[in-house]
Chains A and B, each alone.
Chain A
Amino acid sequence: MAKVLMKGCEAIAEAAVRAGCRFFAGYPITPQNEIPEYLSWRLPEVGGVFVQGESEVASVNMVYGAAASGCRAMTSSSGPGISLKAEGISYLAGTGLPAVIVNISRGGPGLGSIQPAQQDYLQATKALGHGGFRAMVFAPATLQEAVDLTYNAWDYAERDRNPVMILMDGCLGAIMELVEFPEMKDPDRLGTKAWDLNRHEGDTRSARLLSPYFPEAILELKNTSQKKMNERWAQNDVQVEEFMTEDAEYIIVAYGISARVSKEAILRLREEGYKVGMIRPITLYPFPKESFRKLNYEQVKGFIDVELAIPAQMHDDIELEVKGRAPIYEYCRSGGLLFDDDGVYAAVKKILDGGAK
């Protein structure tokens, strides 16, 4: 299929349609409005449903209702709206329903700013809602990757009967790039889902999709199986890009737009003889721990956490793997401010030259 030039948010929306998503509910919030706008006409075109909800809270609960019949369903929002969706995301995890939640992230906390930022990492990877569950979190760095990760997101969500998050900064949501879309999946040929309330066979219906668990021991079993699921993700589902790490003395850790900018800086620094590489988590959760464990700490002199977030939110996850064996520096901007043209290059160079002690 030919490549098309498309905006980030719209590319995610079209990828969702290709993946067989036939229900979307959402509420306007910048910088993700192009997703509901696109799906408002695109979904009816393929026999799907678009609902503009009265709130983010209502929208995620509509997605919960649609998912209950085996329909591939999605909602999208940005920081403040994701906080409101926390309730519904927790209910999806509690009830065991698959759905895809897209966060096109902006500056925070509070209303923050509508400009791009990466300040929702902790929320996405540690606590998307109450009750201590986790969701797989995918962080694309190119629009093609956004298309591919969105397209595959339901496969994970349905395998695990758990929500999946696509976390992409507002930069990538707004830029245009050439993308190639995978083939259209036919929702009718995706097979019957075990949780489909319509799936009942026999004389008397009594399918139940609920999140209260009685007695408490049943809930403990559910919690335990979620823990095991998280461990399986760590074993099998980590996605990471290791860029020029083999001989690297300094390793940048970055995802999304920060990783793109860092890559340019690395190429410039390499030309000047600096041995710099990058670990780019594609799955923020499960975090690519092995990429840090296998490093030679005689060779690696330090890490530089590059994020659009102050304080840096990935720092603790890096530290948990580095375990004090090398210093972790930070180069961050926040609140909706981006890196300057020479920002990452200059900041990393300063660290390498020993100027950032």
Chain B
Amino acid sequence: MAEYKRPESLKKTPSGFCPGCMHSLATKLIAEVIGEMGQANNCVHIVPVGCSTLNLAYWQGDLLGAAHGRAPAVATGFKRSNPDRLVFAYQGDGDLAAIGLAEIMGAANRGENFTVIFFNNQTYGMTGGQMAPTTLIGQKTTTTRNGRDAETTGYPMKMCELISTLEAPAFVARYALNTPKGCKDAKKAIRKAFEIQMAGKGFTFIELLGNCPTNWGLSPLKTLEYMESNTIPYFVPGVYKDKYKDEVK
């Protein structure tokens, strides 16, 4: 019988994420995959700016801090000089889809051989819940008090769709973490992305739809329903690009 234990990439300390926040769920999934692949001592976690920065408090393993939005550039420099390391950046939506848009598109378009895991919870959590590029139309934030208005702020940005238009990326997929099935599929996809990377087959991008109970102003349980009826219909889960469908399990 399988034993449920703490992944070796996570320290025995509290995460620092708010109760009910799916950041801790997402990082646990990543840590489990790294452990199952025997890569705990080979992986380098590029830590960006945002709530994801809290990972540095409880991630066990090599860490490299990046400026806001620049994780894919930092990962490019590191991975190119160290092709044997498992390198992943874990970025939030403000970090990746606003200030870091050039860096993510540049790295994806060059087909850099590392993995970006994109945590999309439609808000700037760390700074107190401002509008993110992924905030849904009508969603209330501290900078859109009456709800996001497309007239003045445009529409939520779909990163999987954007990145999958590029020629180079190997694997691009999106999953929602509000159901056990979503978590299981996400974990499988993270594993596939890491395997593609370790085979040297190019850029991989996994988007994880998550929540922010604190800044959405909802109980953790209510966020699951909100995701089901609002987030998932707009950010449709699924595989957007898979270059090596038949080659890598």
Give the contacts of A58-75 with B (CB-CB under 8 A): 58-59, 61-69, 71, 73
A51 at the interface (CB under 8 A from B): yes
- Chain A residues, CB < 8 A from B41: 200, 203-205
Q: Are B70 and A88 in contact (CB under 8 A)?
A: yes
Query: Interface size of A by Cβ–Cβ distance < 8 Å?
Result: 39
- Separation of A149 and B70 alpha carbons in the complex (Å): 30
* Distance of A128 from chain B, by nearest CB (Å): 15
- Separation of A262 and B8 alpha carbons in the complex (Å): 65
B103 at the interface (CB under 8 A from A): yes
- Separation of A66 and B74 alpha carbons in the complex (Å): 7
In the complex with contacts A206-B61, A206-B62, A66-B70 CB distance below 8 A:
no
- Separation of A206 and B40 alpha carbons in the complex (Å): 10
In the complex with contacts A49-B81, A54-B105, A197-B62, A210-B75 CB distance below 8 A:
no
A211 at the interface (CB under 8 A from B): yes
- Chain B residues, CB < 8 A from A88: 67, 70
- Separation of A58 and B105 alpha carbons in the complex (Å): 11
Q: Are A198 and B85 in contact (CB under 8 A)?
A: yes
A166 at the interface (CB under 8 A from B): no
Chain A residue nearest to B57 in the complex (CB): A214
In the complex with contacts A55-B102, A64-B74, A198-B85, A206-B60 CB distance below 8 A:
yes
* Distance of A153 from chain B, by nearest CB (Å): 18
A327 at the interface (CB under 8 A from B): no
* Distance of B90 from chain A, by nearest CB (Å): 14
Q: Are A197 and B77 in contact (CB under 8 A)?
A: no
- Separation of A140 and B105 alpha carbons in the complex (Å): 38
Q: Are A62 and B73 in contact (CB under 8 A)?
A: yes
B98 at the interface (CB under 8 A from A): no
Chain A residue nearest to B83 in the complex (CB): A49
Interface of A is mostly: mixed
Q: Are B70 and A57 in contact (CB under 8 A)?
A: yes
User: What is the number of contacts between chain A and chain B, taking CB atoms within 8 Å?
Assistant: 125
Per a CB cutoff under 8 Å, which of B75, B77, B102 touches A63? B77
Q: Are B80 and A66 in contact (CB under 8 A)?
A: yes
- Separation of A62 and B67 alpha carbons in the complex (Å): 11
- Chain A residues, CB < 8 A from B70: 57-58, 61, 64, 87-88
- Separation of A66 and B87 alpha carbons in the complex (Å): 13
- Chain B residues, CB < 8 A from A53: 73, 106
- Chain B residues, CB < 8 A from A207: 62-63
B139 at the interface (CB under 8 A from A): no
Per a CB cutoff under 8 Å, which of A66, A203, A206 touches B78? A66
Q: Are B81 and A66 in contact (CB under 8 A)?
A: yes
* Distance of A98 from chain B, by nearest CB (Å): 13
Q: Are A208 and B67 in contact (CB under 8 A)?
A: no
A131 at the interface (CB under 8 A from B): no
- Separation of A53 and B77 alpha carbons in the complex (Å): 10
Q: Are B80 and A23 in contact (CB under 8 A)?
A: yes
B82 at the interface (CB under 8 A from A): yes
Most buried by B among A65, A67, A87: A65
In the complex with contacts A61-B70, A210-B56, A197-B103 CB distance below 8 A:
no
Q: Are B56 and A208 in contact (CB under 8 A)?
A: yes
Q: Are A65 and B64 in contact (CB under 8 A)?
A: yes
- Separation of A210 and B76 alpha carbons in the complex (Å): 17
A253 at the interface (CB under 8 A from B): no
- Chain A residues, CB < 8 A from B22: none
Per a CB cutoff under 8 Å, which of A58, A62, A208 touches B62? A208
0 or 1 for each of B38-82: is its CB under 8 Å from A? (1 = yes): 001100101100000100100011111111001001111111111
- Separation of A189 and B47 alpha carbons in the complex (Å): 30
Instruction: Give me the interface of A with B, judged by CB distance under 8 Å.
Output: 22-23, 25, 49, 51, 53-55, 57-59, 61-69, 71, 73, 87-88, 91, 95, 197-198, 200, 203-212
Q: Please list the 7 inter-chain residue pairs (A to B) with the smallest Cβ-Cβ separation, ordered nearest first.
A: A65-B77, A54-B106, A62-B77, A210-B65, A61-B73, A66-B77, A65-B78
Sample of 15 A–B contacts (CB below 8 Å) = A49-B80, A57-B70, A58-B102, A65-B78, A65-B81, A66-B78, A67-B77, A91-B66, A205-B40, A205-B41, A207-B62, A208-B63, A210-B56, A210-B64, A212-B56
Instruction: Give me the interface of B with A, judged by CB distance under 8 Å.
Output: 8, 40-41, 44, 46-47, 53, 56, 60-67, 70, 73-82, 85, 102-103, 105-106, 110
